[in-house]
Structure 1
């Protein structure tokens, strides 16, 4: 599947370029790449990459076609369980996200997300950027015309995991959280350090409710993740959600805490 999508992207690139009456050399000058680079991309000698295709979309006035196809190709690389979760996430009317140690993915800034992904030292720089782009793409669900309600919970410890080099990144991340919380469909709640131990420390999870009221969940671990769709396991996750939600501060108090944290850093 990935190969056929890659071939489709290259074919569309050639069609758009020739349709615009541009040689590889002329096109290369416009996108700031050499003619040999353009040829290598079109023939499959060089892998496709998002920056090149994004610039090509701009030059060829293609309405984002090439980048959209590239996103499709990247999605096809994902494990089957994660593709089914992406479908559920994109169609959800409500999302409940909980993480005991990190800011939930849908609310991460680009720099924060990159730092989190880079914690896996087995990933190449290229793979880090691919995963980062995928994560940022997912956040578009919150900007669609009828976005889902997002209720995000995380432990206060996530705000204190920093050092001097990380302080600026975290300041911008918390400012981003405060900006996101201004949206009517986003509610952010923090579990304060004073709570101590709680059941949520067992691990992160997310729940998505569809238009028909049905639920699906996902959990991740060191070795991957999976979609939760059995009635019994969903009932357990929904009960866990209620437990951790009850430990969290109300919305306004959570936002006040975020502001206090930023003030203490500056």
Structure 2
């Protein structure tokens, strides 16, 4: 992880430690690192990591400053096309998401998300954990005081894609979906397999409505994604949303179907 924000993290860490009257050795003992490891972190010879910064925030009583800066650094590492969507998510009053093949990222459990990220065999274990941390952090918008209304439409086939080795992760994931669906601001609707064809099967998409009432769209594909804000593009996605939503079950019927899927495994 490179960039100005990371250098700011190192500078703030050094300043906070010195203001607390702690040597690198003494501070290291408190955060379960050696003095030489602390020195390497402050000098940029060792990568900063979430576990260390979380412990440092606790020891230095920073109110979570260092972890907040880390989240900013992780956002800076995101592809340029994705950053506008992250901003739209954070500022949204309503988010709509359709996923024909996966559980939507904002609703994924840590184990499900890790398994999905690991399907890309071109990235290292360290990068998997970094991407996982970013995805889990994104989910905080659904539990904060200014949370948006979140509506997800998912294909039933997504729930049933679970062989013997993956069934434990899927049971945990569906349990989490049911728990989310019981919250008043989260609506999850399942398109049953009895619906053979509809326009949404062309691909996943999401929509976010900001405080000004305007919508922004997001499309995913194999090489990343695309953020759309032109009126004509957004109008098409809103129309397709109405189409896929009309094919889905009600909230209560969807919860019952999710329970039924898990029951069929036992």
> 1:45 maps to what in 2?
45
SS in structure 1 at match of 2:161? coil
What stretches of structure 1 move > 2 A for 4+ residues in a row? Answer: none
Structure 2 counterpart of 1:189 = 189
Q: Structure 2: where are the runs of 5+ without partners?
A: none
Three-state SS of the structure 2 residue aligned to 1:236 is helix
In the alignment, does 2:165 pair up with 1:165?
Answer: yes
- Residues 71-150 of structure 1 aligned to structure 2 (within 5 Å): 71-150=71-150
Separation in 2, partners of 1:265, 1:52: 40
Structure 2 distance, partners of 1:224, 1:11, is: 33
Give SS of 1:219's match: strand
- Of 77-86 and 93-102, deviating more is 77-86
- Separation in 1, partners of 2:31, 2:202: 49
Give the corresponding residue for 2:211.
211
Is 1:235 aligned to residue 246 of structure 2? no
In 1, the alpha carbon distance for the partners of 2:241 and 2:123 equals: 32
Per the alignment, residue 201 of structure 2 pairs with 201
Counterpart CA distance in 1 for 2:37 and 2:203 is 45
Q: Is the 8 A contact 1:100 1:200 kept in 2?
A: yes
Q: TM-score, normalised by structure 2?
A: 0.97
Quick check: 1:2–1:76 contact (8 Å CA) kept in 2?
Answer: no
TM-score by length of 1: 0.97
After superposition, the C-alpha distances for 1:112-134 in whole angstroms (9 at most, x for unaligned) are 01111111111111111111111
Aligned length: 266
Residue 2 (structure 1) shift:
5.0
CA distance in 2, matches of 1:255, 1:185: 15
Q: Is the 8 A contact 2:181 2:251 kept in 1?
A: no
Q: More helix per residue: 1 or 2?
A: 1
For structure 1, the 5+ residue unaligned runs are none
